[in-house]
Amino acid sequence: MSLGPTIPASLIPIGASAENEVVDDNHFPLSPQSSISPYGFGSPLSNREEARYLMHYIQDCALRILIPILDDSDVSINENLLAAVVLLRLYEEMTEVDAGIHLQGGSRLLNDVSNFAARGGLGEAASWIVLRQDLHVSLIRSEPMRVNLSSYEQAKSFEHPNDETITNRAVLLCCQVLAAAFGGLDTNTWARLNDEVAQWHDNLPPHYRPHYCSAGTPDSKTGSVFPIMWLTHPAHVLGFQHYHLARMFLQIFEPRLWLPSLHTVEERLIVDKSVLSHLRMAIGLAIHNASVVGATFTAHHVLYACGIYFSDFAERRE
């Protein structure tokens, strides 16, 4: 099973340390790659009875083992514990009521041990998943992000640029925009982030750019009203999706558009059309790249938070 597209490719297998010897006989053995990949969670939860048993196993077994380890001051917090919390959060996201308990735990671990992203390996892979999870919750709850974003600037994967690291940079920029928006966005910060997002797009290598783009129409072969963008790699899909989301958030929260004046009202009407354009691109990327599970998951959260921008009946129906 392949890794999620925004996760660094270098994963270190979980070793037989004292912290994980107690779970050697677990009922659901997973490879390090599949265990933290979002693609590995569709099958276990496809059956309601299996899902109920799985949640019982997690609550009664996994947490019973994990909590004493985290409470033990003599145990060092390592990448294995972070990966375990990430697994719990991934399953928590798929429950009927998402309380966000494990997201809070993962965020605290990352903030307490801020160099996971800089270490590379399993710790960095898990930290990027926590970041995207935090982005989703921040978006739908309209509250500041919990994860300290500064630690991601020194991510080890950025030392060796590739498609995944380019995508991770787009995810980080999107998170920085959202964090600034909900934390009080001033004009200077907005201008800096706007330039960084534009530079991300301008500096893309040729192979990362789309091979085909088309405005969606009901009469097209796909029958979709949302724009079509053909890309050659799942990481590219997520990269462009977060780029368009970052552009959209920058326009929604642009400081000058919150000044009370009739001119602002006029400007807001113009900007809202651009916001809708970026929103349509973000949703279109998920619709026309259905195999990229992460893009679909992100689109669901975006629709929950920003679906009000869709006024066209055909868009709402699709």
- Model confidence over 265-308: pLDDT tens digits? 888 888 999 999 999 999 999 999 988 988 998 999 999 899 88
Q: Are residues 135 and 263 in the same domain?
A: no
Are the C-beta atoms of 45 and 57 separated by less than 8 Å? no
Question: In this predicted structure, which of 88-97, 104-113, 267-276, 308-317 has the lowest mean pLDDT?
Answer: 104-113
Q: Which of 288, 203, 285, 306 is nearest to 241 (CA)?
A: 285
Question: Which pLDDT belongs to residue 198?
Answer: 97
Q: Are residues 45 and 90 in the same domain?
A: yes
Are the C-beta atoms of 128 and 168 separated by less than 8 Å? yes
Last residue of a domain, one of 129, 156, 183: 156
Q: Are residues 168 and 224 in the same domain?
A: yes
Rounded to an integer, what distance in angstroms lies between the CA atom of residue 44 and that of residue 185? 41
Residues 6+ apart with CB under 8 A from 197: 173, 177, 243, 246, 247, 250
Last residue of a domain, one of 106, 132, 156: 156
Last residue of a domain, one of 94, 126, 156: 156
Domains: count for the chain = 2
Rounded to an integer, what distance in angstroms lies between the CA atom of residue 205 and that of residue 155? 21
Q: Are residues 97 and 229 in the same domain?
A: no
The residue segments making up the domain with residue 306 are 161-318
Q: Are residues 181 and 297 in the same domain?
A: yes
Mean pLDDT of the 217-233 span = 77
Q: Are residues 210 and 264 in the same domain?
A: yes
Q: Are residues 127 and 223 in the same domain?
A: no
| Residue 129 in tokens | 């998943």
- Model confidence over 106-156: pLDDT tens digits? 556 555 545 555 566 666 777 787 788 889 888 988 888 888 888 888 777
Q: Are residues 201 and 174 in the same domain?
A: yes
Q: Are residues 182 and 151 in the same domain?
A: no
More confident: 176 or 62: 176
pTM: 0.70
Question: Which pLDDT belongs to residue 7?
Answer: 34
Question: In this predicted structure, which of 16-25, 55-64, 249-258 has the lowest mean pLDDT?
Answer: 16-25
pLDDT of 41 over the 60 cut: no
Q: Are residues 124 and 205 in the same domain?
A: no
Which stretches within 184-233 are classed as H helix? 187-202
Question: In this predicted structure, which of 2-16, 111-125, 231-245, 285-299 has the lowest mean pLDDT?
Answer: 2-16
Are the C-beta atoms of 81 and 66 separated by less than 8 Å? yes
Q: Are residues 169 and 317 in the same domain?
A: yes
Q: Are residues 6 and 99 in the same domain?
A: yes
Coil vs helix vs strand at 179: helix
